[in-house]
C-alpha cells in the first residue's frame, strides 16, 4: 500500500506540480444479521484504491483508481494534473496552502482482539443464541440481531514530506425484540435503538457487552407486562402514532395509517385527516 502511494506521489511530482499528495485506502467490512432464528444477512467485502491530489498552475486537480498496478497509478496521477491545468484556466486566484510542518505518524485503534480474527461461524453462533433467548420470551413475535466490523487502513504521503499511516477498527452489535398484538406494537432494543453499540475497538467490545446474559434480557421479558395505548398527533399532514405505556415512557414512533383508517370509520369529530 505504501509503495503504491509512493509511486503515485513520484508520478505526480516529476511533472513539476507545486504540491502533490497520495492516499491509499483499504477497507474491510463484515456485516451479519439474524431474524427469527435464521441468518438474515451475511456479507464480507474489501475495497482498495488510491487517490491523487495535485496543485498545478495554481489550481487543484483530483483523480483516483481502484487498480494499484504501475500503469493505473501513473495514469491517475497524469489525469489529476490534466484536471488541475484545466481548472487553472478559470481560476480567480492561485490556491495557497497554509504553511504547516510535515507530519510523520502512525496510529492504530487501541484493541485487544482483531475482530476479523474471529470466524463468521463464531459470530453467527453468538447472534443465534441471542435470537433464541429473545424468542423464548412469551409474546415476542419478531427477534432481530446484528453485528458489524470494519477495518480501514490508509497511507498518506505528500510532496512536503508528510508520511501518515492509520488503521481504524469499528465494532458493533445489538438486538431488537418486537411484540405485535392486534393493532398494537412494542419494541425493545439493546443497547440502543440505532442498530447497536459501535465503538472504535476490537472484538473485546462484543465480549464486554455480554449479549446473552439474562439480566440484559429482562427488559424484553417485560414486553407484555403492561398494555400499551396509542396516542395520535397531527404532523405534516400524516398521522403519527406514538405508543406509550401507562407511565408515559415513550417507546416508539411509527406512521400509523391503520389508526387513521379506524378514525375515519368512527367519523371522529375531534381528529380530521
Note the pLDDT tens digit of each residue in 48-86. Answer: 999 999 999 999 999 999 999 999 999 999 999 999 999
pTM of the predicted model, to two decimals? 0.74
Q: What pairs with residue 107 in β-bridges?
A: 166
Mean pLDDT of 38-49: 96
Reported as a pLDDT band with limits 50, 70 and 90, residue 195 is confident
> pLDDT, tens digit, for every residue of 157-174?
999 999 999 999 999 999
Residue 260 confidence (pLDDT): 54
Helix 70-88 crosses helix 2-13 at what angle (to 10 degrees)?
40
> pLDDT, tens digit, for every residue of 97-109?
999 999 999 999 9
Residue 273 confidence (pLDDT): 42
Q: What is the DSSP string of 6-47?
A: HHHHHHHHTTT-SEEEEEEEEEEEEEEEEETTEEEEEEEEEE
Q: How far apart are the first and last CA of the chain?
A: 60
Q: Are the C-beta atoms of residues 27 and 50 closer than 8 Å to each other? A: no
Residue 203 confidence (pLDDT): 95
pLDDT score of 198 more than 80: yes
Mean pLDDT of 124-131: 94
* Share of residues in the chain with pLDDT > 90 (%): 61
The vertex-210 CA angle with 204 and 214, nearest 5°, equals 175
CA 21 to chain CA mean position, Å:
27
Q: Are the C-beta atoms of residues 105 and 14 closer than 8 Å to each other? A: no
pLDDT score of 271 more than 50: no
Residue 100 confidence (pLDDT): 92
Residue 261 confidence (pLDDT): 56
144-157: b or e for each residue (b if 16 or more CB lie within 10 Å)? Answer: bbbbbbbbbbbbbb
Mean pLDDT of 199-222: 77
**CATH no. of 2-225:** 3.30.2290.10
Residue among 169, 171, 215 nearest 190 (CA): 215
* Share of residues in the chain with pLDDT > 70 (%): 77
Among 3-7, 62-66, 207-211, 233-237, the minimum mean pLDDT is found in 233-237
Q: Where exactly does CATH 3.30.2290.10 map onto the chain?
A: 2-225
Residue 231 confidence (pLDDT): 44
Phi, psi for residue 73 in degrees, rounded to 5: -65, -45
Residue 192 confidence (pLDDT): 73
Amino acid at each position: 500500500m505504501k509503495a503504491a502511494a509512493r509511486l503515485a506521489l513520484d508520478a505526480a511530482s516529476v511533472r513539476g506540480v507545486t504540491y502533490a499528495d497520495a492516499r491509499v485506502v483499504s477497507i474491510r467490512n463484515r456485516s451479519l444479521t439474524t431474524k427469527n432464528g435464521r441468518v438474515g444477512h451475511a456479507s464480507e467485502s474489501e475495497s482498495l484504491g488510491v487517490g491523487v491530489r495535485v496543485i498545478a498552475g495554481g489550481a487543484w486537480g483530483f483523480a483516483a483508481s481502484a487498480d494499484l498496478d504501475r500503469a493505473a497509478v501513473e495514469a491517475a496521477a497524469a489525469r489529476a494534473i490534466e484536471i488541475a491545468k484545466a481548472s487553472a484556466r478559470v481560476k480567480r486566484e492561485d490556491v495557497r496552502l497554509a504553511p504547516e510542518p510535515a507530519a510523520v505518524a502512525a496510529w492504530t485503534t487501541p484493541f485487544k482482539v482483531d475482530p476479523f480474527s474471529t470466524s463468521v461461524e463464531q459470530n453467527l453462533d453468538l447472534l443465534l443464541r441471542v435470537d433464541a433467548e429473545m424468542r423464548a420470551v412469551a409474546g415476542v413475535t419478531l427477534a432481530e440481531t446484528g453485528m458489524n466490523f470494519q477495518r480501514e487502513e490508509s497511507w498518506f504521503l505528500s510532496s512536503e514530506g508528510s508520511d501518515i499511516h492509520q488503521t481504524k477498527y469499528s465494532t458493533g452489535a445489538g438486538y431488537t425484540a418486537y411484540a405485535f398484538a392486534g393493532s398494537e406494537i412494542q419494541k425493545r432494543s439493546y443497547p440502543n435503538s440505532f442498530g447497536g453499540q459501535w465503538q472504535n475497538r476490537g472484538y473485546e467490545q462484543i465480549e464486554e457487552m455480554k449479549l446473552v446474559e439474562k439480566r440484559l434480557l429482562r427488559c424484553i421479558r417485560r414486553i407484555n407486562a403492561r398494555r400499551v395505548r396509542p396516542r395520535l398527533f397531527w404532523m405534516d399532514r400524516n398521522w403519527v402514532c406514538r405508543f406509550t405505556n401507562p407511565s408515559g415512557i415513550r417507546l416508539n414512533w411509527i406512521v400509523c395509517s391503520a389508526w387513521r383508517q379506524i378514525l375515519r370509520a368512527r367519523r371522529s369529530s375531534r381528529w380530521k385527516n
